[in-house]
Amino acid sequence: MKPYQPNLKIREIKIGNMKAGGDTSYPFMKENENSAKALVALEIPYVIDSSYPAVLKEFYGDCDFEGRLKKVSEIEADLVSVKFNIERIDEEEIKNAVQTAEKLIKKPLILRGANNTKTDKELVPLLAKSAARPSIIAFGEEETYESIIPAVMQGNHILSLRSPIDINLAKELNILSVDMGLPGDRILIDPDTGGLGYGLEYGYSIIERIKQAAFEGDKMLNMPIIVFIGEETYRAKEAKNANYPEAWGDYETRAQLWESAAAAAMISAGTNIIVLWHPENINVIRELVK
């Protein structure tokens, strides 16, 4: 019988004065003295449009972008994420917005594109070039990573690489990015996922498989994992719509629990950075990972 071999360590990535990764086992398990803790981020939109959940519109009220930044600056999140959910790119406006975020938020920033491939080929490199301090840039994918990596490397940023819930595609994108010169210790894996229900189960299993491959020595999958679970949560009609029977309970409570339950599941699977939308869930999830 072969002697027991402890799980290999997920590589650590420095983010400000914190680290993501470094885990040697799945979360909440002590057999490998796993002291790594998931980092918790709060995400705000650059623009609040009609699709933004009512429960979050109520929290931010009539604040403009700068007002939203000020409102979240005192919340005990480890990082703050800004999603530039825009259709038209104004280079000067984007640079001013990034500088405003850096001025008001002293924590590490995640700067996100619009989740539109055509837009993000231009927008995400601009975000990377506009940031004066190292940040997490999100995200590169199969159609955009070649356009984004040069700006990420120039700014000494960390790049989140997204692949569509498939372990082989995640590994392939990591290999292609490293081949372009991006160091492995500046890559986060974004395996994509769904919210509560069928999509979450599928996403959970992919994260587990990525982690297990990394623990067994796969150097192209041993990067920390980031999940934007807030965005996925509030796509569900149950979390963004109050028009349900009384038996479903209070809408605001349901929306908050929908996100926190999904986030807890993703952390259990091995997520290293979890990005939330509901400010009140920051402390809920921080207490969980303690």
- Average pLDDT value for the chain: 91
Which residues 6+ apart lie within 8 Å of 157 measured at CB?
A: 128, 131, 134, 135, 136, 137, 151, 186
List the structure tokens of 105. 């938020």
Q: What angle do CA 210, 279, 28 make, to 5 degrees?
A: 35
Place of tokens 């990535």: 13
- Per-residue pLDDT, 1: 44
- Per-residue pLDDT, 31: 61
The confidence band for 163, taking pLDDT boundaries of 50, 70 and 90, is: very high
List the structure tokens of 152. 């990420």
pLDDT higher at 24 or 276: 276
For residue 45, CA distances in Å to 9, 50, 118, 255 come to 34, 12, 19, 18
Residue 74 CB neighbour total at 10 angstroms: 7
Report the percentage of the chain scoring pLDDT > 90. Answer: 71
- Per-residue pLDDT, 50: 85
| Dihedral sign (CA 221, 108, 285, 203) | negative
State phi, psi for 42 to the nearest 5 degrees: -110, 130
pLDDT higher at 152 or 33: 152
* 241 touches 176 (CB < 8 A): no
- Per-residue pLDDT, 3: 46
Residue 5 to residue 22: CA distance in whole angstroms: 17
Give the pLDDT confidence of 193-234 residue by residue, as tens digits. 877 666 788 889 999 999 999 999 999 999 999 999 999 888
Residue 119 to residue 83: CA distance in whole angstroms: 13
pLDDT surpasses 80 at 36:
no
Give the pLDDT confidence of 244-290 residue by residue, as tens digits. 788 888 888 888 998 999 999 999 999 999 999 999 999 999 998 87
Beta-strand runs (E) in 166-261: 187-190, 226-227
Mean pLDDT confidence for 33-55: 87
The confidence band for 182, taking pLDDT boundaries of 50, 70 and 90, is: very high
List the structure tokens of 214. 């990394």
The bridge status of strand 13-15 relative to strand 18-20 is antiparallel
Which residues 6+ apart lie within 8 Å of 278 measured at CB?
A: 55, 56, 59, 230, 255, 256, 259, 260
Cα-Cα-Cα-Cα torsion 153, 157, 161, 162, nearest 10 degrees, comes to -130
Residue 235 CB neighbour total at 10 angstroms: 13
What pTM was computed for the model?
0.94
pLDDT surpasses 80 at 34:
no
Mean pLDDT confidence for 185-191: 97
Domains belonging to the chain, first-starting first, are 13-289 (3.20.20.20)
Give the pLDDT confidence of 88-123 residue by residue, as tens digits. 999 999 999 999 999 999 999 999 999 999 999 999
* 54 touches 94 (CB < 8 A): no
